[in-house]
Structure 1
Amino acid sequence: MADIVGVNRASGGYQEKRVQYDAPGAVLELSAALKWLWRREGIPETVLCIGTDRSTGDALGPLVGTTLSQKRLGPIRVFGTLEDPVHAANLTDYIRAYPSLLTSRVFAIDASLGRLPDVGTLTAALGPLKPGAGVNKQLPALGRYHLTGTVNVGGFMEFFVLQNTRLNVVMKMASCIAEAFVQSLGLS
Structure 2
Amino acid sequence: MNLKDKFSREERRVSTEDPAMSEALSVHLAEWLPPSKNVVIACIGTDRSTGDAFGPLVGSMLKDQKLQTFHVYGTLEEPLHALNLKDRIQYIHRNHTNSFILAIDACLGKSASVGSVVLGKGSISPGSALKKDLPPVGDVHISGMVNVSGFMEHVVLQNTRLHFVMQMAAKVAAAVHLTEGKRKEWRREHTPFQTLTPVAHKDRKFIK
Q: Aligned pair in 2 of structure 1 residues 58, 8: CA closer, same or farther (>3 Å)?
A: same
Q: After TM superposition, list the pairs within 5 Å mapping 1:17-166 onto structure 2.
A: 17-39=12-34, 44-100=38-94, 104-166=99-161
* Partner deviation per Cα, 1:16-59 (whole Å, 9 max, x = no partner): 100011212111111111112125x8655210000000000000
Residues 54 and 144, structure 2, Cα contact 8 Å, conserved in 1: yes
Gaps of 5+ in 1: 10-14
Residues 20 and 26, structure 1, Cα contact 8 Å, conserved in 2: yes
Q: Secondary structure at the match of 1:172?
A: helix
Q: How many pairs does the alignment contain?
A: 180
Shift of residue 139 of structure 1? 0.8
Q: Secondary structure at the match of 2:144?
A: strand
Q: Secondary structure at the match of 1:77?
A: strand
Gaps of 5+ in 2: 185-208
Q: Secondary structure at the match of 1:186?
A: helix
In 2: Cα distance, 1:128 partner to 1:185 partner: 22
Range moving further from structure 2, 154-163 or 101-110:
101-110
Match of 1:168 in 2: 163
TM-score (normalizing by structure 2): 0.80
* Partner deviation per Cα, 1:45-95 (whole Å, 9 max, x = no partner): 210000000000000000000000111211521110000000111101212
In 2: Cα distance, 1:91 partner to 1:42 partner: 27
Query: Percent same amino acid among aligned pairs?
Result: 43
Aligned Cα root-mean-square deviation (Å):
2.1
Shift of residue 109 of structure 1? 0.1
Shift of residue 8 of structure 1? 5.0
TM-score (normalizing by structure 1): 0.88
Residues 47 and 107, structure 1, Cα contact 8 Å, conserved in 2: yes
> 2:119 is aligned with what amino acid?
A
In 2: Cα distance, 1:43 partner to 1:159 partner: 37
In 1: Cα distance, 2:180 partner to 2:26 partner: 9
Shift of residue 98 of structure 1? 2.9
Q: Secondary structure at the match of 1:60?
A: helix
Q: Aligned pair in 2 of structure 1 residues 180, 125: CA closer, same or farther (>3 Å)?
A: same
